[in-house]
Amino acid sequence: MLPIVSIVLVAAYPVIALAAANADEISLQYVPRSLLVSVALAILMLILVRLIAGDWGKAALIGSIALLLFFSYGHLYQVVKSKEVMGFVVGRHRYLLLLWILIFTTWVWLVFGVLRNIPEWNGVLTIVAAVAIAFPLFSLISREIEFRAADAKSESRAPIFEPAPDFVGRDIYYIVLDGYGRQDVLSRIYDLDNTDFIDFLKREGFYVAEQSQSNYIQTALSIASSMNLDYVNDLADLLGEDSTNRRPLNARIHHNYAMDFLERSGYQLMAFNTNLVATSIEDVDIYLPSEGNQYFRSSLPETWLLNPFEGLLLETTAVSALFDLVAQFKSSYIETVADPLYEVHRSRVSYTLDAMSQVPGMPGNVFVFAHVLAPHPPFVFGPNGEPVNPDAPYGLFDGSDFMAEGGTVEGYIAGYRDEVIYLNTLLEDTLGEIIAKSDPPPIIILQSDHGPGAYLDWGSPSRSDLEERTSILNAYYLPDGGSDGLYPSISPVNSFRVVFNHYFEGNFPLLEDRTYFSSAVRPFSFTPVD
């Protein structure tokens, strides 16, 4: 009995520990499958080793070390990667794998030849594993309780109303261009004259709010607020200013007032897998995959694919050596695909815009939510759409985090400018096509969640260029008089208020347009920006 208990604990520990380390972001629903697979494989291994070793106790000791080595490999590799000792790169897979084999064979030799009291060693192993697992398990459970409590209290406070019976059904597009700055800031800091694109929007019939500022300076806060037609500062009271728990915030995006209302009004909801937990709204009628690139597209149903937590877990295991091997092989094979992650990022941006232009042909009224990860870092497009693979580890690092990963202000500015130029051409195609093909004319909100971050210091509002970070592109295509409710300084918290008031006979008073700074680490510690 003891051997099975110990191996189950050892197999569960890495999964529970990783889930606890990411409990602020990742929902528990992603975890059980990894836990099940890990435990099942461990028991299978125990049975196989038992056949060879002829003893359950020895099999458990050998199986446990194999599991520990397997699950710790990716962690250790991340630490020693490319480390040099006297000009000699020691952090390579070949050396690390060799070391792992050495540790494993030494342990096998100890179990068979040296250790005397095998049941006693199994007892020790079980106690150590049980104690180790208790800590992350406790933190995971308390996080879940906190989340449930906050979720129960955070019902939307906006009034429920039914749409007018004679409303004209139109498709509605809510397009969030992550980090797209306002024209005057692009000109001042980025030496980028964006007049052509703004003129294109106006020519097509958009109203461009030329003094618009975001309500928050980071994605999830901004989108949770705009889609619920309200500020989200009450989360600071619910969770505490110092909370790092983002799940109640993400939940406000996954179930938001605007989409709830439109669904009740007979709209089909459409959203994309953005590869970010916060903005991937899965509970919709049409949920599109993250990218259309043929290399990565799969014919498997979405539930068969790895979820975000499983991807993270595999990265921490010895499977990461296999991933790196495949990536290496691929890059020598296809020169342009130097880094698959940047390629995926590129195809995600173009796929999202491309997929939207298909919506006018769809039957019924459609609401589209598209969170486009551009022109946010990493900057992956040249001005003509040529692929750019930044010489840095892949990640969505912005502001001072971008600099901490080896970026420079000059690099940020140049990369950002190139990406905006190309993004504009994609947008002109998509928007032009949507407007030309839609009948009746659609409603389009094209806005940014915050500005760019070449001079953003996450740790300090006073050391940041707040005008850069808070000034946003905010444009509206509201046919048949909908623009009458707009004004130059309108902020995203009021966008759906104006739309619902005009097209659905809503009765929402406009809120005061305000902006709050908060850091990435302490999202609910708000400082008003004036």
Residues that bind Zn ion (CB under 5 A): 178, 219, 449
Distance between CA atoms of residues 20 and 23, nearest Å = 5
Give the residue with the Cβ less far from Zn ion, 178 or 468: 178
Closest approach of Zn ion to the CB of residue 431, in Å: 20
Residue 219 beta carbon to Zn ion: minimum distance, rounded to whole angstroms: 3
Instruction: Report the distance separating Cα 163 and Cα 170, nearest Å.
Output: 13
- Please, what is the minimum distance in Å from the beta carbon of residue 350 to Zn ion? 19
d(CA 491, CA 512): 9
Quick one: tokens of 133? Answer: 């697992």
List the beta strands (DSSP E) in 187-279. Answer: 207-208, 268-272
Quote the least distance from Cβ 368 to Zn ion, whole Å: 18
| Smaller CB separation from Zn ion, 50 or 469 | 469
Phi and psi of 208, rounded to 5°? Answer: -105, 120
Residues forming a β-bridge with 269:
367
Residue number, 216 or 261, with CB nearest to Zn ion: 216
Nearest to 60 by CA among 155, 135, 141, 124: 124
Q: Which is nearer to Zn ion, 107 or 517 (CB)?
A: 517
Pairing state of beta strands 443-447 and 474-477?
Answer: antiparallel
Closest to 490 measured CA to CA, from 238, 233, 154, 215: 215
25 alpha carbon, distance to own chain's centre: 9
Quote the longest CA-to-CA distance of the chain: 86
- Least separation in angstroms between CB 374 and Zn ion: 10
Nearer to Zn ion, 219 or 274 (CB): 219
Nearest to 353 by CA among 398, 315, 390, 385: 385
220 versus 262: smaller Cβ distance to Zn ion: 220
Q: Which two tokens stand for residue 528?
A: 């008003």
**Residue placing its CB nearer to Zn ion in the complex, 180 or 476:** 180
Cβ proximity to Zn ion: between 178 and 513 the closer is 178
Nearer to Zn ion, 359 or 374 (CB): 374
Residue 173 near residue 396 (C-beta atoms within 8 A): no
Q: Is the bond leading into 375 cis (omega within 30 degrees of zero)?
A: yes
Identity of the residue, 146 or 178, whose beta carbon is nearer to Zn ion in the bound complex: 178
Nearest distance from C-beta of residue 523 to Zn ion, angstroms? 12
Compute the distance between CA of residue 459 and CA of residue 517 in angstroms, rounded to an integer: 10
DSSP state of 317: S
Running DSSP on this structure, what letter comes out for residue 363? S
Q: Which residue is nearest to Zn ion (CB)?
A: 219
Give the nearer residue to Zn ion in terms of CB position, either 38 or 219: 219
Nearest approach, Cβ of residue 337 and Zn ion (Å): 26
What is the Cα 306 distance to its own chain's centre? Answer: 15
Q: How far is CA 8 from the centre of its chain?
A: 31
Q: Which is nearer to Zn ion, 6 or 226 (CB)?
A: 226
Strand 366-372 versus strand 88-89 pairing type: unpaired
Residue 484: C-alpha distances to residues 167, 239, 487, 501 (Å): 18, 38, 8, 11
- Long-range pairs for 349-354 at CB < 8 Å and ≥24 separation? 349/373, 349/374, 349/380, 349/381, 349/423, 349/426, 350/292, 350/426, 351/290, 351/291, 351/292, 351/293, 352/272, 352/288, 353/426, 353/427, 353/429, 353/430, 354/292, 354/430
Q: Find the shortest distance in angstroms from Cβ 179 to Zn ion.
A: 5
Shortest gap between Cβ of 509 and Zn ion (angstroms)?
28
Least Å from the CB of residue 178 to Zn ion: 4
Q: Output the smallest distance, CB 192 to Zn ion, in A.
A: 19
Nearer to Zn ion, 221 or 229 (CB): 221
**In the bound complex, what is the minimum distance in angstroms from residue 186's beta carbon to Zn ion?**
16
Q: How far is the CB of 406 from Zn ion (least distance, A)?
A: 21
